[in-house]
Chains A and B, each alone.
Chain A
């Protein structure tokens, strides 16, 4: 079945460091891919998305490119801030209506940014 695999955390970085969180997926067809962020004590917020191969999603300095050849959607940011400390989830959604649009999540990667 469909699945998403993320790099294990926690990831600890210093402020202004470069961030990469790896995400790979397994799915039939052409899923849409998402990164969600969960701040402590809060629900999930959509960070960025890409709906087809080679699309680049970007938001708040974060970027991820939908790579169909490597079935990957790695999250990157050039310079992290303390306020980026959160748990990041990679997710996919199958394109066929019969799947109902459910999201399939990776296990989450906790990011901690130190001043």
Chain B
């Protein structure tokens, strides 16, 4: 158990819908990273938050957004969903610049 929790574990929805994925980092970790794992793109960095502020963006679509709240949990919002958004979404946390601890992931299926 990494100490990072993600909910829900599985999410099935339809095209055009909007979903929210939640991540709770390890106690004391200020940084949260979001990654997407798909068959065609592999594991890709989406976005990084540090203590409530966005620090870096990767290959994140404009339909996707994220935020980190004062209690340090983070949410990834995916809207206008397309079939190609089906993937595993991981978050990872770290205390600063050290090892990233990954959550178990949320499997999103868009039908």
Contacts and interface: CB of A to CB of B under 8 A. Distances in A.
Contacts of A9: none
Nearest to B44: A105
B63 to A, nearest CB: 20
B56 interface: yes
Contact of A108 (B35, B43, B45, B56): B43
Interface string A24-45: 0000000000001000001111
B58 A102 contact: yes
B109 interface: no
Contacts, number: 50
B5 to A, nearest CB: 11
Q: Which secondary structure dominates chain B's binding surface? A: strand
Interface in A96-115: 97, 99-108
A82 interface: no
A104 B90 contact: no
Contact of A107 (B2, B42, B45, B55): B42
B43 A102 contact: no
A97 B31 CA distance: 13
Q: Across the A-B interface, give the 10 residue pairs with the lowest CB-CB distance, nearest first.
A: A100-B56, A43-B102, A105-B43, A102-B45, A44-B102, A100-B48, A100-B55, A43-B104, A107-B42, A101-B97
